[in-house]
Amino acid sequence: MEFIGIPTEQTTAVTDAILGLLSLGITLYFYQFRRGRDPLKVNIWVWAFGLLAFASIVGAAAHGLKLPPAVYVFLWQPINLALGLTIAFFVVGVVYDLWGQLAAKRAMPFLLGAGLIFYGLTVLFTGTFLVFIAYEALAMLFALGGYAWLAARNRLAGAGLMALGVLITIIAAAVQASGAVRFTLIWPFDFNGAFHLIQMVGVFFLAAGLRTALLLNQKQA
């Protein structure tokens, strides 16, 4: 295996790997909360962050290695599937926080089905990331409205941090969708590398908000 020689693809691969390791660390951290008061909520978010970690780490290999075309195309299949299900679990988590456990259980099959439909669309429309951008945008706008409302009503500890994390994720997606961002920060970055850098910040705030809510629940137990 040879590393790719394109500088912007190298930084995309490295930032993807860092995003993956960050998400994996968050997954392992929240795994310990499964025996607390909200095991379903914890499992939803463990799946969301775990799938993001998987997609990012495999994405690092797809961007950073010189691969035969068939292998490159094959790698994007599990990446797209994992990304679709990441968004689905994320929305299930938002539904849980807005309307409770029963609503989340009822919504989960439909939302996971939507994630699978997204994956099917990426198979039909190969070579474009716009399908994911549209799918993610709908989910993130719903999440932003939900967590902003919960924060304004003071109904969920950490909701303000979650809303900020979602807003940063929307900004990251907009940067990636633009396809025009390029800059040098010691190393050259393009819109994909910029997306990963911004998304890391968003993931951090999402995890911080979730941690605040779970720790408060533990104290109230």
Domain assignment of residue 198, given as a range: 2-220
**Alpha carbons 134 and 118: distance in angstroms, whole number:** 10
Total domains in the fold of the chain = 1
Task: Note the pLDDT of residue 33.
Answer: 92
Amino acid found at 35 = R
Task: Note the pLDDT of residue 14.
Answer: 98
SS3 (DSSP) at 188: strand
**Alpha carbons 149 and 163: distance in angstroms, whole number:** 9
What's the residue count for the chain?
221
> Where residue 157 sits, what CATH number does that domain have?
1.20.1070
**Alpha carbons 43 and 138: distance in angstroms, whole number:** 23
Whether residue 196 is predicted with pLDDT greater than 80 in this model: the reply is: yes
- Which helix (H) or strand (E) segment holds residue 61: the answer is helix 39-64
Q: How far is CA 154 from the centre of its chain?
A: 25
Q: What percent of the chain has a predicted confidence (pLDDT) above 70? A: 97
Q: Report which DSSP code applies to 187.
A: E
Neighbours of 1 (CB within 10 A): 7
Band (pLDDT 50/70/90 cuts) for residue 23 is very high
Q: Report which DSSP code applies to 34.
A: G
Q: Which of 100, 97, 84, 63 is nearest to 165 (CA)?
A: 97
Encode pLDDT of 126-151 as tens digits: 665 677 788 888 999 999 999 999 99
- Which helix (H) or strand (E) segment holds residue 183: the answer is strand 183-185
Greater confidence (204 vs 35) lies with 204
Band (pLDDT 50/70/90 cuts) for residue 220 is low
Band (pLDDT 50/70/90 cuts) for residue 80 is very high
